[in-house]
């Protein structure tokens, strides 16, 4: 290529990537939200400390294809930055460098027309400044010269590394390099826990703290702000609409994969970016595997189908489960077990109030389930240890489906799941008529001073309401595809 052509090509590429993308969703969290979160974290940090956060690594799927990138939730919470290869530092007090003061630094991906032509726009330091509100944003390549001496802090707080970050040899400031540079700066390899077994451990003082940050972040993240609740409500309602649509569309000939597709189609109709976790769709005995994600059974038949799916909207994920009979009508055994789980869930939701805790919510539902299983002759005594309800009843939701929390008493604006279940796998030590029955009902409940508010309650929960909803027609059933060989 001659010089003129090369010039034209580069100019074209720059035009392509220089303009900000327009017509984007307008309801992302604001930069003020992220800034306020950083301020609150700073206030909660120990004196003379620095907190260091790294973006999530990219993950390889196969050959030259990576998995869709997902930002680390803490990084997202504090910055709103959605790209990889970046590091954020928050200081408890102002630092000074050549007469200028700063209390946070962020190092991000450098703009690169060629990379952006292939993989999409990068925000770059200017827009990280103007749009995300960082006064001190730099390119990742500058991190090696960071004007900070980590040995002067009483504490350097960060999450320990998983050793699962690949080095892109062509990029000298990718996440791998940022972490390696950081490790050198904080003498990470001399930590007693990092010294290979058999080598002498010399007692040494370190300012590295890889535990404390979790508690600080959990204290912030477990209580949702108004802005976060708008997104979470939307994620929960969209997930509930997915459940409603499949109740209308479901028929015995449907495969687990197709059922999953109906939910996820609804999510995309609402411009949801991702599922918050791999979708769980288990017909009959498959529902007994708590996190069954194969979803490969070809036809649901007369079984109940356990569907645990959550839309992730602008980072915030719902977690909603409904269990419905594929043919639209619960049989006798299915209905008995379903109604028992419903009763347990109602009891748990009633306990989801300010000052309560996970133990109380769990006990409220578990007592009902144990008593019910005993009366049905599925267990021999109320006190019998069994595996028919093998999981806890609640967890927080938020940027993670199992969101950070310090697991203390419930406070206003916490949002948790209430999700009791009964699972009776084939071969269980009870009458065969119960085998293959699996029911979970899961909703996302906001704790308010006026009592529990069910964000996903739009989707029917009682066995009668489910059967009524299943009588309705779905437009999706008119969607006929040509038969392929
Ligand atoms: N969907 C995972 C869970 O319910 O915790
Ligand atoms: Mn859950
Ligand atoms: Mn779930």
Residue 260 lies in a domain: yes
Q: Per the structure, how many domains does the chain have?
A: 2
Q: Which residues surround ligand 3, an ion (CB under 5 A)?
A: 308, 319, 442
Which range marks the domain in which residue 135 is found? 3-195+202-218
* Residue to mutate, 419, 423, 441, ligand 1, most ligand atoms under 8 Å from C-beta: 419
Rg (CA), the chain: 26
pLDDT over 70 percentage in the chain:
95
Instruction: Please report, for the domain that includes residue 437, its CATH number.
Output: 3.90.230.10
What pLDDT does 22 receive? Answer: 78
Residues 424 and 294 in one domain: yes
Q: What is the mean pLDDT of the chain?
A: 94
Residue nearest to atom 3 of ligand 1 (CA): 319
* Residue to mutate, 239, 291, 322, ligand 1, most ligand atoms under 8 Å from C-beta: 291
C-alpha distances in angstroms, 37 versus 75, 98, 101, 220, 265? 11, 28, 20, 8, 34
Nearby residues of 139 by Cβ (< 8 Å), 6 or more positions away: 107, 108, 109, 110, 125, 173
User: Residue 279 — very low, low, confident or very high, per pLDDT cuts 50/70/90?
Assistant: very high
Strands 137-139 and 100-108, sheet pairing: parallel
Residues 245 and 136 in one domain: no
Residue 484 lies in a domain: no
CA of 289 relative to ligand 1 center, distance in Å: 12
What pLDDT does 191 receive? Answer: 74
What pLDDT does 466 receive? Answer: 99
Say whether pLDDT at 95 is over 70: yes
CA of 290 relative to ligand 1 center, distance in Å: 8
Question: Nearest CA to 366 among 422, 308, 437, 442?
Answer: 422
Residues 71 and 186 in one domain: yes
**Site residues for ligand 1, CB cut-off 6 Å:** 277, 308, 319, 401, 419, 442
Residue 485 lies in a domain: no
Structure letter (DSSP) for residue 301: T
Q: What is the DSSP string of 136-155?
A: SEEEGGGGGG-S--GGG-SE
Mean local confidence (pLDDT), 321-349: 98
Answer whether 344's CB lies under 8 Å from 373's CB. Answer: no
Helices (H), 256-405: 256-269, 332-350, 358-375
Say whether pLDDT at 16 is over 60: no
CA of 79 relative to ligand 1 center, distance in Å: 27
Q: What is the pLDDT of residues 217-276, one digit of tens each?
A: 999 999 999 999 999 999 999 999 999 999 999 999 999 999 999 999 999 999 999 999
What pLDDT does 68 receive? Answer: 95
* Residue to mutate, 308, 391, 421, 445, ligand 1, most ligand atoms under 8 Å from C-beta: 308
CA of 323 relative to ligand 2 center, distance in Å: 14
Residues 378 and 281 in one domain: yes
Residues 419 and 352 in one domain: yes
Residue nearest to atom 5 of ligand 1 (CA): 402
Q: What is the pLDDT of residues 401-452, one digit of tens each?
A: 999 999 999 999 999 999 999 999 999 999 999 999 999 999 999 999 999 9
CA of 318 relative to ligand 2 center, distance in Å: 9
Say whether pLDDT at 168 is over 70: yes
d(CA 308, CA 310): 7
What pLDDT does 195 receive? Answer: 72
Q: How far is CA 20 from the centre of its chain?
A: 28
Q: What is the pLDDT of residues 382-400, one digit of tens each?
A: 999 999 999 999 999 999 9
Nearby residues of 436 by Cβ (< 8 Å), 6 or more positions away: 284, 285, 288, 303, 424, 425, 426
User: Residue 479 — very low, low, confident or very high, per pLDDT cuts 50/70/90?
Assistant: confident
Say whether pLDDT at 12 is over 70: no
Total residue count of the chain as it appears in this document: 485
Say whether pLDDT at 10 is over 70: no
Enter the tokens of residue 238: 């969209």
Residues 113 and 153 in one domain: yes
What pLDDT does 111 receive? Answer: 98
Say whether pLDDT at 8 is over 80: no
Instruction: Please report, for the domain that includes residue 99, its CATH number.
Output: 3.40.350.10
Ligand 1: atom nearest CA of 391 is 5
Answer whether 85's CB lies under 8 Å from 173's CB. Answer: yes
Mean local confidence (pLDDT), 333-361: 98
Residues 59 and 31 in one domain: yes
* Residue to mutate, 401, 421, 438, ligand 1, most ligand atoms under 8 Å from C-beta: 401
Ligand 1: atom nearest CA of 395 is 5
Say whether pLDDT at 300 is over 90: yes
Last residue of a domain, one of 218, 249, 264: 218
CA of 107 relative to ligand 1 center, distance in Å: 34
Please, what is the Cα angle at 400 between 396 and 401, to 5 degrees? 60
């Amino acid at each position: 290529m001659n010089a003129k052509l090369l010039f034209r090509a580069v100019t074209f590429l720059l035009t392509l990537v220089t303009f900000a993308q327009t017509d984007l969703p307008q309801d992302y969290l604001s930069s003020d939200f992220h800034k306020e979160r950083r301020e609150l974290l700073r206030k909660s940090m120990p004196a003379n400390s620095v907190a260091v956060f790294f973006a999530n690594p990219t993950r390889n799927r196969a050959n030259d294809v990576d998995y869709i990138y997902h930002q680390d939730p803490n990084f997202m919470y504090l910055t709103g930055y959605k790209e990889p290869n970046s590091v954020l530092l928050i200081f408890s007090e102002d630092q000074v460098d050549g007469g200028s003061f700063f209390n946070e630094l962020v190092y991000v991906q450098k703009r690169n027309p060629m990379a952006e032509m292939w993989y999409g726009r990068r925000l770059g330091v200017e827009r990280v400044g103007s749009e995300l509100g960082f006064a001190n944003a730099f390119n990742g390549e500058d991190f090696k010269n960071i004007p900070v001496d980590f040995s002067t802090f009483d504490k350097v707080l960060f999450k320990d590394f998983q050793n699962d970050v690949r080095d892109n040899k062509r990029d000298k400031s990718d996440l791998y390099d940022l972490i390696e540079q950081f490790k050198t700066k904080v003498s990470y390899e001399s930590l007693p826990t990092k010294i290979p077994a058999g080598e002498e451990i010399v007692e040494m003082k370190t300012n590295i703290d890889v535990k404390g940050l979790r508690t600080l972040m959990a204290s912030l993240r477990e209580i949702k702000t108004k802005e976060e609740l708008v997104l979470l409500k939307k994620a929960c309602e969209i997930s509930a609409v997915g459940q409603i649509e499949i109740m209308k569309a479901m028929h015995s000939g449907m495969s687990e994969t197709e059922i999953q597709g109906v939910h996820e189609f609804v999510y995309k109709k609402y411009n949801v970016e991702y599922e918050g976790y791999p979708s769980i769709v288990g017909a009959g005995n498959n529902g007994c595997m708590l996190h069954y994600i194969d979803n490969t059974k070809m036809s649901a038949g007369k079984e109940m189908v356990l569907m645990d799916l959550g839309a992730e909207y602008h980072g915030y994920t719902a977690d909603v489960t409904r269990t419905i009979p594929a043919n639209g009508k619960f049989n006798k055994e299915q209905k008995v077990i379903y109604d028992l789980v419903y009763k347990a869930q109602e009891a748990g939701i009633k306990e989801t109030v300010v000052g309560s805790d996970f133990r109380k919510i769990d006990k409220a539902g578990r007592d009902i389930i144990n008593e019910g299983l005993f009366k049905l002759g599925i267990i021999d005594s109320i006190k019998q240890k069994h595996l028919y309800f093998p999981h806890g009843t609640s967890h927080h939701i938020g940027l993670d489906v199992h969101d950070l929390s310090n697991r203390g008493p419930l406070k206003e604006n916490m949002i948790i799941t209430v999700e009791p279940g009964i699972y009776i796998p084939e071969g269980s030590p009870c009458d065969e008529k119960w085998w293959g029955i699996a029911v979970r009902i899961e909703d996302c409940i906001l704790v308010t001073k006026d009592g529990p508010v069910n964000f996903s309650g739009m989707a029917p929960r009682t066995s009668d309401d489910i059967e009524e909803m299943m009588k309705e027609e779905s437009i999706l059933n008119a969607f006929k595809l040509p038969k392929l060989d």
